[in-house]
Amino acid sequence: MDIEKTDMTTAPDLSQSLGTGPVPEQLPVYQDFLPPCNNGCPAGENVQAILDLAQSGQHEAAWQVIMRDNPLPAIHGRACYHPCEPVCNRESVDGAVSIHAVERFLGDRALELGWMPESDAEPSGRKVLIIGAGPAGLSAAYHLHQFGHDVEIREAGSEPGGMMRYGIPAYRLPRDILDGEVQRLVKIGIKLTLGHKVENAVAEKEAGGFDAVFVCVGAHISKRTDIPARDASKVLDAVTFLRDIESDAQPIIGRRVAIYGGGNTAMDAARSAKRLGATDAMIIYRRDRDHMPAHDFEATEAEEEGVTINWLSTIKEMDTDATTITIEKMELDEDGRPQPTGEFDTLEADSLILALGQDIDSDLLLGAEGVELKEDGTVTVDESFMTGYQGIFAGGDMVPDERSITFAVGHGRKAARYINGYLTGLPYVRAEKHSLVEYHKLQLWYKTDADVSVQPSIAIEQRVSGFDEVIEGLSEEQAVFEAQRCYSCGNCFECDGCYGACPENAVIKLGKGNRYKYNYDLCIGCRACFLQCPCHAIEMAQPDDPRIVAIREETT
């Protein structure tokens, strides 16, 4: 029988193209990457580690991980705009993990059971003054206390919380939750002095013998605008309006209320007006929905409650008795900027609430040598959050950055690290971040649909009749399920995919919690483990890669 022979001189070298053979072109190496949720959190939380513990029912341990970076998880689970979620790799499959809902569950469980943060710091003998009891101040105070420093917060208001209390309505952030998380900070030893307005930061520092000061006064001054012929008695600013509600002052607004602005504060003012009995709450905003500064869900919830939003509109004038507002229709140019059209319309309103942004009262830093203040009251700081005056730092709304409680808490955490370095003489140096792992790098061989858990909300009629919390929390079962939706992007979770896929038994299990290592004497570089790793915790590298060389040296 004739047997056809293959001409081996022309056959492709499959061993080289597949990376196999006596000398592999590439070898696998385990590598930790940065998950997009962690990268997207302004507060610096280790989101992935939190979800890992929560999904196995280790709720207190998960909460302790949050507390390493953020002392206000029950607040953040409600009022944070969760920038970690839009970047979640699961968003490309069936919806991002509801990270904020899991954080809220853990935060509420901690308040319910009285959990306290772990700490082993020895007293340092150093004193730090925090000016302002808002999110940045509370965060900085907590982290400085965890470093062992003696911390005092001085707050001008009669209640702590800053704009969390006076800028976020109770239907989004119940006051018992806010008070509970603040009181936990007092219990661990942070001194909180209320009703004490600091007039001069430098004088306060010297008089109190403080080694450092962190200034984090909130943006409480509303921006104004010139509206021809307006009646000042019928015009309110949104910050004062919301503050009066919190103080039980019950502002007089009438039945028809117009709100000028398109940010989250405008949405809160309009929704609060409905709760105070306004039959018509009308937002006037000069751009369209796609260009509004408010988060989309805020506008959606406002519309659900009967708020009317007049997009592409700006106020031109108000008559002297403040019952008629003339608005001009706008259109967006190719750059997205609003341009007048010359078309006008009128709205009937009993009052007008201005929600055009806020500025800072930074008079307490006036005259401080080396301190540079901007027109809006913000202060210039260096990378360490220090102002031009030695030992005085600033953060939160005081510095140019995005204004939200999460950014403020992140500022407090970072500033505390730099302040600690300043006090100890051991400057804080930020660690380098791992490379970011993106969706296209995942090998989701186990992909299944598991839709995001929906937080229930109370009925519309109940929502607009008072300030009860609108969005409810997840049950324990739902929170565990939601945490289990995490892909553990970029970090090994010991699924045994690499172990089972290796044809040469080159993967060695090191025991639960210790992951794996490679026996490179057996590995042929076939990439089977790499292709089976769902979370991209394995990379293929050259045999002379320092990581591989180091492992070889360890095993010889």
Q: pTM here?
A: 0.91
Do 499 and 417 lie in one domain? The reply is: no
**The pLDDT value given to residue 276:** 95
Radius of gyration of the chain (CA): 28
Mean pLDDT to the nearest integer, 440-464: 88
Residue 149 and residue 245: Cα distance in Å, rounded? Answer: 37
Q: Encode pLDDT of 126-166 as tens digits.
A: 999 999 999 999 999 999 999 999 999 999 999 999 999 99
Cβ 328 vs Cβ 341: under 8 Å: yes
Do 306 and 404 lie in one domain? The reply is: no
Angle between helices 296-304 and 264-275 (to 10 degrees): 20
Residue 258 and residue 273: Cα distance in Å, rounded? Answer: 9
Least confident of 42-46, 193-197, 232-236, 524-528: 232-236
Reading the block at residue 447, the tokens are 């992909």
Query: In terms of residue numbers, what domain contains 509?
Result: 14-32+492-555
Residue 444 falls within a domain, yes or no? no
Can you give the CATH number for the domain in which 109 is found?
Answer: 1.10.1060.10
318 vs 69, more confident: 69
Q: Encode pLDDT of 344-402 as tens digits.
A: 999 999 999 999 988 888 999 998 999 999 888 899 999 999 999 999 999 999 998 88
Do 299 and 365 lie in one domain? The reply is: no
Mean pLDDT to the nearest integer, 29-44: 96
7 vs 287, more confident: 287
Residue 431 falls within a domain, yes or no? no
Instruction: Please state, rounded to an integer, the average pLDDT across all residues of the chain.
Output: 91
Q: How confident is the model at residue 14 (pLDDT cuts 50, 70, 90)?
A: very low
Can you give the CATH number for the domain in which 346 is found?
Answer: 3.50.50.60
Owner of token pair 């990581």:
547
Residue 429 falls within a domain, yes or no? no
**The pLDDT value given to residue 375:** 83
Cβ 406 vs Cβ 99: under 8 Å: no
* Percent of the chain at pLDDT exceeding 90: 82
Do 171 and 229 lie in one domain? The reply is: no
Residue 1 falls within a domain, yes or no? no
Do 241 and 168 lie in one domain? The reply is: no
Do 166 and 235 lie in one domain? The reply is: no
Residue 10 above 70 pLDDT?
A: no
Do 102 and 160 lie in one domain? The reply is: no
Please tell me what DSSP assigns to residue 257: E
**The pLDDT value given to residue 238:** 94
Which of 370, 368, 415, 365 minimizes the C-alpha distance to 388? 370
Do 198 and 235 lie in one domain? The reply is: no
End of a domain among 404, 424, 444? 424
Residue 54 falls within a domain, yes or no? yes
Residue 69 and residue 81: Cα distance in Å, rounded? Answer: 17
* Percent of the chain at pLDDT exceeding 70: 94
List the 338-348 sheet strands across, edge first: 313-318, 324-332, 338-348
**Number of domains the chain contains:** 4
Can you give the CATH number for the domain in which 514 is found?
Answer: 3.30.70.20
Q: Which amino acid is at 195?
A: G
End of a domain among 308, 325, 356? 356
Do 229 and 269 lie in one domain? The reply is: yes
Residue 445 φ then ψ, to 5°: -70, -15
Cβ 36 vs Cβ 89: under 8 Å: yes
Q: How confident is the model at residue 523 (pLDDT cuts 50, 70, 90)?
A: very high
Do 496 and 403 lie in one domain? The reply is: no
- Determine the 3-state secondary structure of 225 from DSSP: coil
Residue 99 and residue 97: Cα distance in Å, rounded? Answer: 5
**The pLDDT value given to residue 498:** 96
**The pLDDT value given to residue 8:** 34
Please tell me what DSSP assigns to residue 233: G
Residue 233 above 80 pLDDT?
A: no
Cβ 443 vs Cβ 533: under 8 Å: yes
Residue 250 falls within a domain, yes or no? yes
Mean pLDDT to the nearest integer, 447-470: 90
Do 183 and 292 lie in one domain? The reply is: no
Residue 360 and residue 355: Cα distance in Å, rounded? Answer: 15
**The pLDDT value given to residue 232:** 66
Residue 542 falls within a domain, yes or no? yes
Residue 447 falls within a domain, yes or no? no
Q: Give the max Cα distance, the chain.
A: 110
Do 403 and 414 lie in one domain? The reply is: yes
